Amino acid sequence: MYTAVIPVRKGSRRLPGKNTAPFADSNLLIYKIEQLKKVPQITRIVVTSDCDDMLAMGRAQGVDTHKRAIEYCDEKTKTFGEVVAHVAESVEGENIIWATCTSPLVEPHHYADAIDQYEIELKNGYDSLMSVEEFRRYIWTKEGPLNYELGIKHVPSQELEPLYRVTDGILIAPRAKMIEWMYFHGTNPFMYKMDKKSSIDIDDIYDLECAKAWFHV
Protein backbone atom coordinates (compact mmCIF):
# COMPACT_ATOMS: atom_id res chain seq x y z
CA MET A 1 0.00 0.00 0.00
CA TYR A 2 1.23 3.45 -0.92
CA THR A 3 -0.03 6.53 0.86
CA ALA A 4 0.77 9.85 -0.81
CA VAL A 5 1.16 12.65 1.72
CA ILE A 6 0.83 16.26 0.58
CA PRO A 7 2.28 18.51 3.31
CA VAL A 8 1.00 22.09 3.21
CA ARG A 9 0.74 24.89 5.76
CA LYS A 10 -0.43 28.48 6.09
CA GLY A 11 2.85 30.33 6.30
CA SER A 12 5.42 30.87 3.58
CA ARG A 13 8.12 33.47 4.06
CA ARG A 14 9.28 33.79 0.46
CA LEU A 15 5.97 33.39 -1.38
CA PRO A 16 2.82 34.02 0.66
CA GLY A 17 0.00 31.63 -0.25
CA LYS A 18 2.49 29.44 -2.10
CA ASN A 19 0.69 26.12 -1.70
CA THR A 20 -2.52 27.40 -3.25
CA ALA A 21 -0.96 29.67 -5.87
CA PRO A 22 -2.88 29.63 -9.18
CA PHE A 23 -1.68 26.88 -11.51
CA ALA A 24 -3.13 24.91 -14.43
CA ASP A 25 -6.68 26.32 -14.15
CA SER A 26 -6.81 25.51 -10.41
CA ASN A 27 -4.05 25.83 -7.84
CA LEU A 28 -0.92 23.95 -6.83
CA LEU A 29 -2.61 21.89 -4.13
CA ILE A 30 -5.60 20.79 -6.18
CA TYR A 31 -3.42 20.12 -9.21
CA LYS A 32 -1.14 17.85 -7.15
CA ILE A 33 -4.16 15.92 -5.85
CA GLU A 34 -5.36 15.46 -9.43
CA GLN A 35 -1.94 14.19 -10.49
CA LEU A 36 -1.69 11.69 -7.63
CA LYS A 37 -5.16 10.30 -8.35
CA LYS A 38 -3.81 9.12 -11.71
CA VAL A 39 -1.06 6.99 -10.16
CA PRO A 40 -2.34 3.40 -10.06
CA GLN A 41 -0.14 2.21 -7.18
CA ILE A 42 -1.32 4.95 -4.79
CA THR A 43 -4.14 3.71 -2.58
CA ARG A 44 -4.57 6.72 -0.32
CA ILE A 45 -3.92 10.47 -0.60
CA VAL A 46 -3.67 12.60 2.54
CA VAL A 47 -3.48 16.39 2.76
CA THR A 48 -1.80 17.30 6.05
CA SER A 49 -2.02 20.91 7.17
CA ASP A 50 -2.82 23.41 9.91
CA CYS A 51 -4.98 25.35 7.44
CA ASP A 52 -8.72 24.64 7.46
CA ASP A 53 -9.13 26.07 3.95
CA MET A 54 -6.52 23.71 2.49
CA LEU A 55 -7.98 20.77 4.38
CA ALA A 56 -11.40 21.69 2.96
CA MET A 57 -9.89 21.70 -0.55
CA GLY A 58 -8.61 18.19 0.07
CA ARG A 59 -11.97 16.93 1.30
CA ALA A 60 -13.69 18.55 -1.70
CA GLN A 61 -11.38 16.52 -3.92
CA GLY A 62 -12.36 13.34 -2.10
CA VAL A 63 -9.06 12.66 -0.33
CA ASP A 64 -8.21 12.12 3.32
CA THR A 65 -7.03 14.95 5.55
CA HIS A 66 -4.91 15.29 8.67
CA LYS A 67 -5.14 18.40 10.84
CA ARG A 68 -1.74 19.33 12.22
CA ALA A 69 -1.42 21.36 15.39
CA ILE A 70 0.35 24.68 14.92
CA GLU A 71 3.50 23.45 16.66
CA TYR A 72 3.97 20.99 13.81
CA CYS A 73 3.74 23.77 11.23
CA ASP A 74 5.44 26.88 12.63
CA GLU A 75 9.00 25.64 11.81
CA LYS A 76 10.31 26.55 15.26
CA THR A 77 8.47 24.65 18.00
CA LYS A 78 9.12 21.19 16.56
CA THR A 79 12.09 20.04 14.53
CA PHE A 80 11.54 18.97 10.95
CA GLY A 81 12.24 15.38 11.97
CA GLU A 82 9.54 15.54 14.61
CA VAL A 83 7.11 16.83 11.98
CA VAL A 84 7.89 13.97 9.59
CA ALA A 85 7.51 11.36 12.35
CA HIS A 86 4.25 12.93 13.55
CA VAL A 87 2.75 12.87 10.06
CA ALA A 88 3.90 9.29 9.43
CA GLU A 89 2.37 8.20 12.73
CA SER A 90 -0.92 9.90 11.84
CA VAL A 91 -1.58 8.20 8.50
CA GLU A 92 -2.05 4.61 7.36
CA GLY A 93 -0.19 2.62 4.75
CA GLU A 94 2.89 0.47 4.37
CA ASN A 95 4.87 3.01 2.34
CA ILE A 96 4.67 6.79 2.24
CA ILE A 97 5.27 9.00 -0.78
CA TRP A 98 6.07 12.53 0.38
CA ALA A 99 4.61 14.52 -2.52
CA THR A 100 5.01 18.28 -2.32
CA CYS A 101 2.56 20.40 -4.31
CA THR A 102 5.41 22.85 -4.99
CA SER A 103 6.76 20.32 -7.51
CA PRO A 104 3.91 20.56 -10.03
CA LEU A 105 5.87 19.19 -12.97
CA VAL A 106 6.37 15.81 -11.32
CA GLU A 107 3.73 14.01 -13.34
CA PRO A 108 1.78 10.78 -12.68
CA HIS A 109 4.12 8.74 -14.88
CA HIS A 110 7.08 9.93 -12.80
CA TYR A 111 5.46 8.73 -9.57
CA ALA A 112 4.44 5.40 -11.11
CA ASP A 113 7.93 4.78 -12.48
CA ALA A 114 9.58 5.86 -9.21
CA ILE A 115 7.40 3.42 -7.24
CA ASP A 116 8.36 0.57 -9.58
CA GLN A 117 12.03 1.54 -9.22
CA TYR A 118 11.69 1.82 -5.44
CA GLU A 119 10.42 -1.75 -5.19
CA ILE A 120 13.37 -2.98 -7.26
CA GLU A 121 15.97 -0.99 -5.34
CA LEU A 122 14.74 -2.09 -1.91
CA LYS A 123 15.73 -5.61 -2.96
CA ASN A 124 19.14 -4.25 -4.03
CA GLY A 125 19.90 -2.91 -0.57
CA TYR A 126 18.66 0.67 -0.74
CA ASP A 127 16.38 1.81 2.08
CA SER A 128 14.33 4.52 0.36
CA LEU A 129 14.09 6.66 -2.77
CA MET A 130 14.65 10.37 -3.34
CA SER A 131 14.37 12.36 -6.55
CA VAL A 132 17.46 14.27 -7.63
CA GLU A 133 18.64 16.47 -10.44
CA GLU A 134 22.12 15.68 -11.71
CA PHE A 135 24.29 18.65 -12.55
CA ARG A 136 27.86 19.59 -13.33
CA ARG A 137 28.81 23.09 -12.20
CA TYR A 138 31.85 24.78 -10.75
CA ILE A 139 31.15 24.93 -7.01
CA TRP A 140 32.94 27.01 -4.39
CA THR A 141 32.86 27.11 -0.60
CA LYS A 142 34.35 29.94 1.47
CA GLU A 143 37.62 27.99 1.37
CA GLY A 144 37.76 27.83 -2.43
CA PRO A 145 36.82 25.45 -5.25
CA LEU A 146 34.97 22.36 -4.06
CA ASN A 147 34.92 20.10 -7.09
CA TYR A 148 37.64 21.31 -9.46
CA GLU A 149 41.14 22.79 -9.50
CA LEU A 150 42.31 26.17 -10.71
CA GLY A 151 44.96 26.75 -13.32
CA ILE A 152 46.33 24.12 -15.66
CA LYS A 153 44.22 21.34 -14.10
CA HIS A 154 40.96 23.12 -14.87
CA VAL A 155 38.57 20.90 -16.85
CA PRO A 156 35.42 21.63 -18.90
CA SER A 157 32.26 21.43 -16.80
CA GLN A 158 31.00 18.37 -18.70
CA GLU A 159 34.05 16.45 -17.40
CA LEU A 160 33.34 17.20 -13.74
CA GLU A 161 32.09 14.47 -11.47
CA PRO A 162 28.30 14.78 -11.30
CA LEU A 163 26.67 16.35 -8.28
CA TYR A 164 23.06 15.79 -7.24
CA ARG A 165 20.46 18.25 -5.99
CA VAL A 166 17.68 16.74 -3.92
CA THR A 167 14.51 18.05 -5.56
CA ASP A 168 12.01 16.96 -2.85
CA GLY A 169 9.60 16.10 -5.66
CA ILE A 170 9.41 12.38 -4.84
CA LEU A 171 10.45 10.83 -1.54
CA ILE A 172 9.44 7.23 -0.78
CA ALA A 173 10.14 5.09 2.26
CA PRO A 174 8.44 2.53 4.48
CA ARG A 175 6.13 4.35 6.88
CA ALA A 176 7.60 2.56 9.92
CA LYS A 177 11.08 3.63 8.88
CA MET A 178 10.04 7.26 8.47
CA ILE A 179 8.88 7.16 12.06
CA GLU A 180 12.10 5.48 13.21
CA TRP A 181 14.38 7.78 11.22
CA MET A 182 12.31 10.89 11.92
CA TYR A 183 12.98 11.76 8.29
CA PHE A 184 11.49 11.05 4.87
CA HIS A 185 14.39 8.99 3.54
CA GLY A 186 17.14 6.90 5.01
CA THR A 187 20.93 7.03 4.88
CA ASN A 188 21.09 4.86 1.76
CA PRO A 189 18.46 6.23 -0.61
CA PHE A 190 18.27 5.34 -4.28
CA MET A 191 18.78 8.54 -6.24
CA TYR A 192 15.98 8.75 -8.79
CA LYS A 193 17.22 11.10 -11.48
CA MET A 194 14.81 13.60 -12.99
CA ASP A 195 15.28 16.20 -15.71
CA LYS A 196 15.51 19.94 -15.18
CA LYS A 197 11.86 20.55 -16.01
CA SER A 198 10.40 18.00 -13.62
CA SER A 199 12.89 19.00 -10.91
CA ILE A 200 11.58 22.52 -10.44
CA ASP A 201 10.67 23.29 -6.83
CA ILE A 202 8.69 26.46 -6.17
CA ASP A 203 10.17 28.64 -3.45
CA ASP A 204 9.51 32.11 -4.81
CA ILE A 205 7.63 34.01 -7.52
CA TYR A 206 10.40 33.39 -10.06
CA ASP A 207 10.14 29.63 -9.59
CA LEU A 208 6.36 29.84 -9.92
CA GLU A 209 6.54 31.74 -13.18
CA CYS A 210 9.16 29.32 -14.52
CA ALA A 211 6.90 26.38 -13.64
CA LYS A 212 3.98 28.01 -15.43
CA ALA A 213 6.14 28.60 -18.50
CA TRP A 214 7.42 25.01 -18.48
CA PHE A 215 3.87 23.72 -18.07
CA HIS A 216 2.92 25.13 -21.45
CA VAL A 217 5.98 23.80 -23.29
What is the pLDDT, as a whole number, of residue 1?
Answer: 87
Q: HEC string of the chain?
A: CEEEEEECCCCCCCCCCHHHCEECCEEHHHHHHHHHHCCCCEEEEEEEECCHHHHHHHHHCCCEEEECCHHHCCCCCCCHHHHHHHHHHHCCCCEEEECCCCCCCCCHHHHHHHHHHHHHHHHCCCCEEEEEEEECCCCEECCEECCCCCHHHCCCHHHCCCEEEEEEEEEEEEHHHHHHHCCCCCCCEEEEECCCCCCCCCCCHHHHHHHHHHHCC
State the CATH number of the domain containing residue 29.
3.90.550.10
Q: Are 65 and 45 in contact (CB under 8 A)?
A: no
pLDDT values of the chain reduced to their tens digit, one per residue, 217 residues: 899 999 999 877 778 899 999 999 999 999 999 999 999 999 999 999 999 999 999 999 999 999 999 999 988 899 999 999 999 999 999 999 999 999 999 999 999 999 999 999 999 999 999 999 999 999 999 999 999 999 999 999 999 999 999 999 999 999 999 999 999 999 999 999 999 999 999 999 999 999 999 998 7
pTM: 0.95
End-to-end, the C-alpha distance of the chain in Å comes to 34
94 class by beta-carbon count within 10 Å (0-12 exposed, 13-18 middle, 19+ buried): exposed
- How many domains in the chain? 1
What is the pLDDT, as a whole number, of residue 74?
Answer: 87
**Position 94 in a domain:** yes
- Name 16's Cβ contacts closer than 8 Å, sequence gap at least 6: none
What is the pLDDT, as a whole number, of residue 14?
Answer: 75
**Position 90 in a domain:** yes
**Position 120 in a domain:** yes
Output the CA–CA distances (angstroms, integers) from residue 88 to 81, 95, 158, 179, in the order listed. Answer: 11, 10, 40, 6
The domain of 116 spans 2-133+166-211
What is the pLDDT, as a whole number, of residue 15?
Answer: 87
**Position 114 in a domain:** yes
Please count the other Cβ atoms lying within 10 Å of the Cβ belonging to residue 154.
12
**Position 217 in a domain:** no
d(CA 176, CA 196): 32
**Position 152 in a domain:** no
Total residue length of the chain: 217
**Position 151 in a domain:** no
**Position 201 in a domain:** yes
